[in-house]
Amino acid sequence: MVDTAARTDTSAAPATASADAPKANGKANGAVRPGGAPVVDVAALGRQLLGTWADVRVEARKRAAMPELQRIEGQSMAEHRERVLEQLKLLVEMGAVHKAFPKELGGQDDHGGNIAAFEELVIADPSLQIKSGVQWGLFGAAVLHLGTKFHHEKFLPAIMSLEVPGAFAMTEIGHGSDVASIATTATYDPETEEFVIHTPFRAAWKEFLGNAGLHGKHATVFAQLVTNGVNHGVHCFYVPIRDDEGEFLPGVGGQDDGLKGGLNGIDNGRLHFTNVRIPRENLLNRYGDVAPDGTYSSPIESPGRRFFTMLGTLVQGRVSLDGASTEASAMALAIAITYGNQRRQFTASSDTEEEVLLDYQRHQRRLLPRLATTYAQIFAHDEFLVKFDAVFSGKADTDDDRQDLETIAAALKPLSTWHALDTLQEAREACGGAGFIAENRLVGLRQDLDIYVTFEGDNNVLLQLVAKRLLTDFSAQFKNADAGAMARYVVAQTADRAYHGTGLRRLAQTIADFGSTARSVSELRDEETQRELLTDRVETMIAEIAGRLRDARKLPKADAAAAFNRNQNELIEAARAHGELLQWEAFTRGLAKTSDPGTKQVLTWVRDLFGLGLVEKHLAWYLVNGRLSPQRAQAVTAYIDRLIERLRPYAQDLVDAFGFEPAHLRATIASGIEQERQDEARAWFDAERRAGTLPVDEKTLKAKPKAKKKS
């Protein structure tokens, strides 16, 4: 894929062959690497990576280092569930989980800080993170955001103190992603001024609810609000489900979901309701209310907008999954790179010394690009959290802000949750059999995070939402345009296709590039070139799909749906490209804030590796669409190879900057034990050699006459 010229060309940049580059972990701060190579200020970089809520995270990590909050591998499901419940109580005692609640109730009205602290719990045990999330981020947050002062005062104190553990009963067996279609009903009875919560059939059982299997005493139940014969759509109700003995209340039933692929510290379960009556006041009535006589009212006239506003208050789940997944990816890489920097296997370049795993090109290719993506995600997540905080604190809370936040969440959460699974798996494989042992944590984290890709919004469904938003934005450009403008656009599109698509522009580029891989490399390093390549792809994909769907709106519903469906896969790919661009932009902004020159240089390589890695991943698109000539395309891969060689000596610094302590990683193989074993083995061989007791190798005996034969 890469020609020799590109590989051996070093004129464009100083060679940093891994052979003579420094490999030791500098822990920098004034240290100078041999050969004038840049030095990373690990501590300063670490502070930058902690982001806007650095202090909160440092505090939260102290808690995550406490054994009593950590997972014990191998506990039974029942033991694990009880342990996590007890840990939730500890968190309450520590005052660790009330930041987002109102000051007047003992909270801090600090939404960003709350999420930052909450994300760090993943280090202790993802079950603890998610069970806390169920209690305070979903169940409590539904009361906080969908309820009003009455509910806050009446229900929140017991929720905050964990006196009332609760379930967030939205999803049903029959409807997960399509929340609007849930079938549980809440029918108002003006006679008694009560709502009747009812599950009409099996598919309407509430499903996968944390706290529903065992511990939940109340639930925030989403149901179709029916009053005076009209269905006003999905609303949320505060419903008691279990008595103090843990028995279901009359009319309430359920089922334990039992063992899952992970997160077994959480008691997920099903709930169903048979004409369960609750007081009218238990409707969380911020966005829709029913008067005693049954009259419905809402501050939001459009039922559609009302629905999305209510659901929008739940975006924090996606925010925190983005952060927690990124954290897990960072842990995986800290473990695998630390081990890969010590572990040796096969003698390749000498007869006696075995190679360090991370000196193998393939091993670098497996881990370093994922490290670059993790860095991009860290920067993107911090910006995302700042945006979230602005919206939820009311600092910047327009409809546009909320929509933007939703779109960012829908773009970033899929990418980071998938990346976590991919990275945990690659890290596990890179550690071989040791990666499969539970005590080295990679398999457990992966099992727990598996569900992150489909809960709080299935990743594919979320990306489709992003794509629809991009299409809407695109068509908004032409909203007020006359027919002439549209026609001109179409002509321009066609011309673009003819120009890019037939190889004409590419051919020109080929001629200009010919024999000059170096020049194209220097262009690829350019920030603007990367931005243009990534932006262009998103815009072009969306424009093309919009062009194809332009006439679909006029078609009958079934045909329009078929036309849309024929583009669904590409739409989702466009949304992914958009998310990747968001991450690249955030990384680039973060880079601009890095002041230490050595750190900035190395971080620039990491950013370039991320950016060009994206280009390489989608190389076929760039070639087909004439954005890159074959020569330049080859230069992308060649330059990535070179970046990886350059970054290799900094791999340990880059994972050390994540700031995880042994009490966070808790992986035996990342503890230095591998180095100790090798030192012991080396000392043994040296001693035997010195004593002359090492047997002669049969190969050596035979090799001598052979060598003679050859010459």
CB of 171 to a copy of itself, least distance (A): 7
User: Any contact of residue 126 with a copy of itself (CB under 8 A)?
Assistant: no
Tokens 């419903």 correspond to: 239
CB of 43 to a copy of itself, least distance (A): 33
Residues 354, 404, 539, 585: which binds a copy of itself (CB under 8 A)? 354
CB of 628 to a copy of itself, least distance (A): 9
Residues 274, 393, 502, 595: which binds a copy of itself (CB under 8 A)? 502
Site for a copy of itself in 633-662 (CB under 8 A): 633-634, 641
User: Any contact of residue 611 with a copy of itself (CB under 8 A)?
Assistant: no
The DSSP bridge pattern shows strands 166-169 and 218-227 to be: parallel
The smaller minimum CB distance to a copy of itself, of residues 24 and 490, is found at 490
User: Any contact of residue 77 with a copy of itself (CB under 8 A)?
Assistant: yes
- Angle, helices 568-592/361-393, rounded to nearest 10 degrees: 90
Residues 103, 479, 690, 699: which binds a copy of itself (CB under 8 A)? 699
The smaller minimum CB distance to a copy of itself, of residues 204 and 283, is found at 204
**Three-state DSSP class for 550?**
coil
The smaller minimum CB distance to a copy of itself, of residues 66 and 230, is found at 230
Distance CA 25, CA 346 (A): 23
CB of 572 to a copy of itself, least distance (A): 6
Site for a copy of itself in 147-176 (CB under 8 A): 171, 173-176
Enter the DSSP assignment of 355: P
CA-nearest of 234, 217, 246 to 312 is: 234
Please list, in sequence order, all residues whose beta carbon lies within 8 angstroms of the beta carbon of residue 91, skipping any fewer than 6 positions away. 63, 69, 97, 128, 132
User: Any contact of residue 505 with a copy of itself (CB under 8 A)?
Assistant: no
CA-nearest of 509, 534, 532 to 630 is: 509
The smaller minimum CB distance to a copy of itself, of residues 144 and 411, is found at 411
CB of 153 to a copy of itself, least distance (A): 30
The smaller minimum CB distance to a copy of itself, of residues 3 and 404, is found at 3
CB of 381 to a copy of itself, least distance (A): 22
Per-residue three-class SS string for 49-116 = HHCCCHHHHHHHHHHHCCHHHCCCCCCCHHHHHHHHHHHHHHHHHCCCCCCCCCHHHCCCCCHHHHHH
Site for a copy of itself in 431-460 (CB under 8 A): 432-433, 435-439, 442-444, 446-447, 450-451, 453-455, 458-460
In this structure, are residues 241 and 167 in contact, taking their beta carbons and an 8 Å threshold?
A: yes
The smaller minimum CB distance to a copy of itself, of residues 29 and 295, is found at 295
The smaller minimum CB distance to a copy of itself, of residues 291 and 624, is found at 624
The smaller minimum CB distance to a copy of itself, of residues 312 and 547, is found at 547
CB of 237 to a copy of itself, least distance (A): 16
How many other β-carbons are positioned within 10 Å of the β-carbon of residue 585? 17
CB of 657 to a copy of itself, least distance (A): 26
CA dist list (Å): 152 to 22, 107, 186, 210, 352: 59, 12, 21, 22, 70
Enter the DSSP assignment of 283: B
195 forms beta bridges with: 188, 278
Residues 308, 474, 489, 621: which binds a copy of itself (CB under 8 A)? 621
Q: Select the span of 106-114, 400-408, 528-536, 622-630 touching a copy of itself (CB under 8 A).
A: 622-630
Q: Select the span of 43-51, 80-88, 177-185, 584-592 touching a copy of itself (CB under 8 A).
A: 177-185
Give the x/- contact pattern for a copy of itself in 458-487, rule: CB under 8 A: xxx---x-----------------------
The smaller minimum CB distance to a copy of itself, of residues 220 and 567, is found at 567
Please list, in sequence order, all residues whose beta carbon lies within 8 angstroms of the beta carbon of residue 150, skipping any fewer than 6 positions away. 281
Q: Select the span of 136-144, 371-379, 657-665, 674-682 touching a copy of itself (CB under 8 A).
A: 674-682
CA-nearest of 156, 181, 174, 180 to 166 is: 156
Distance CA 318, CA 411 (A): 10
Tokens 């620039």 correspond to: 604
Distance CA 580, CA 204 (A): 37
Q: Select the span of 58-66, 83-91, 594-602, 628-636 touching a copy of itself (CB under 8 A).
A: 628-636
**Three-state DSSP class for 269?**
strand
CB of 477 to a copy of itself, least distance (A): 20
The smaller minimum CB distance to a copy of itself, of residues 149 and 365, is found at 365
Distance CA 41, CA 44 (A): 5
Tokens 């500098």 correspond to: 26
Distance CA 361, CA 368 (A): 10
Query: CA 380, 383, 386, 391: dihedral to nearest 10 degrees?
Result: -90
Site for a copy of itself in 236-275 (CB under 8 A): 257-262
User: Any contact of residue 594 with a copy of itself (CB under 8 A)?
Assistant: no
CA 467 to chain centre: 18
CA dist list (Å): 245 to 211, 238, 402: 15, 20, 42
Residues in the chain: 711
CB of 643 to a copy of itself, least distance (A): 13
The DSSP bridge pattern shows strands 269-273 and 276-279 to be: unpaired
The smaller minimum CB distance to a copy of itself, of residues 304 and 597, is found at 304
In this structure, are residues 203 and 183 in contact, taking their beta carbons and an 8 Å threshold?
A: yes
Site for a copy of itself in 511-530 (CB under 8 A): 514
CB of 264 to a copy of itself, least distance (A): 9
How many other β-carbons are positioned within 10 Å of the β-carbon of residue 10? 12
Phi, psi of 190, deg, nearest 5: -65, -25
Q: Select the span of 241-249, 398-406, 655-663, 697-705 touching a copy of itself (CB under 8 A).
A: 697-705
The smaller minimum CB distance to a copy of itself, of residues 292 and 556, is found at 556
Site for a copy of itself in 281-340 (CB under 8 A): 296, 301-304
Site for a copy of itself in 550-589 (CB under 8 A): 557-558, 561-562, 564-570, 572-573
Give the x/- contact pattern for a copy of itself in 534-553, rule: CB under 8 A: -------x--x--xx-----
Site for a copy of itself in 407-426 (CB under 8 A): 421, 425
